[in-house]
Amino acid sequence: MDFINEAAAVNGLADEIVKGGVCLFNAVKYIYSIAEESFYTVSIKDAFKIVLNNITDTDSLTALGLRIDGESCGEMMGEEYEKVLPLMVYSLAVRIPVLKNLRGASGPMTDDQLYKVYNAVMAKGAENYKDAVTESFMEIKYLVRKGKRLPPYNADWFKTYIYTSVPALSEITNKNMFLLGFADVLFAMFYSCLEEELFEKIKEYSADDFGESIEI
């Protein structure tokens, strides 16, 4: 695909993915805090609506009176849980080949362009800590190239990591069960919205006219 400025496009897309990862990370914390004292006053549906309408900005969740501090989500303040952030960004980075599905007049993004974006994201701090994320860039690239159906983005790696590495969150408590429950739904919905957002970004950076774009 031809970009107006390829370097800017690569950097912009990498930024968007990192911001998405940070947003998902914060969203999990905010929603987890609902279980602390706002269980009957804040509707989780409203929280989801806000997150999914503001993919790269979770500040709006504070409007619901939610806050992320040691009191409301102390279990997530440990060092081990902090590693979830680079893991989340990594889990999104490995799915970069999906962007090939957007085809402009000059064709889809090339493998080289996709790889550059992936590298830029990795350079910004994405990391597969303890190999928690089982998917890889190459694997997804292969599936996209073959036109095979991709497995949906899910929270399995997140749950596995929590069970194995974050003892405070792996205890059977009301709050922790709430976390594991909403994570499944949130991750799938969030990725779907982020993908749409990335396609829009590509259209912005692209030199092609997407008046009649074809999405495969």
* 3-state class (DSSP) for residue 206: strand
Q: Which residue in 1, 79, 64 sits closest to 33, CA to CA? A: 64
Stretch binding another protein (CB under 8 A), from 4-12, 44-52, 84-92, 104-112: 44-52
Q: Which residue in 42, 59, 21, 70 sits closest to 187, CA to CA? A: 21
CB of 38 to another protein, least distance (A): 7
- By CB under 8 A, name the one of 2, 37, 46, 69 that touches another protein: 46
Regarding 64 and contact with another protein (CB under 8 A), the answer is yes
CA 182 to chain centroid, in Å, comes to 15
Give the position of tokens 């990370």.
Answer: 25
| Nearest CB to another protein, comparing residues 150 and 193 | 193
- By CB under 8 A, name the one of 15, 22, 48, 60 that touches another protein: 60
Stretch binding another protein (CB under 8 A), from 57-65, 111-119, 139-147, 156-164: 57-65
Regarding 42 and contact with another protein (CB under 8 A), the answer is yes
CA atoms of 120 and 126, how far apart (whole Å): 9
Regarding 26 and contact with another protein (CB under 8 A), the answer is no
Residue type, 5: N
CA atoms of 146 and 99, how far apart (whole Å): 14
| Nearest CB to another protein, comparing residues 54 and 119 | 54
Regarding 43 and contact with another protein (CB under 8 A), the answer is yes
Q: Which residue in 186, 177, 202 sits closest to 58, CA to CA? A: 186
Angle at 194 (CA atoms; ends 142, 145), nearest 5 degrees: 15
Regarding 82 and contact with another protein (CB under 8 A), the answer is no
Stretch binding another protein (CB under 8 A), from 56-64, 136-144, 156-164, 182-190: 56-64
- The binding site for another protein (CB under 8 A) comprises 38, 41-43, 46, 49-50, 53-54, 60, 63-65
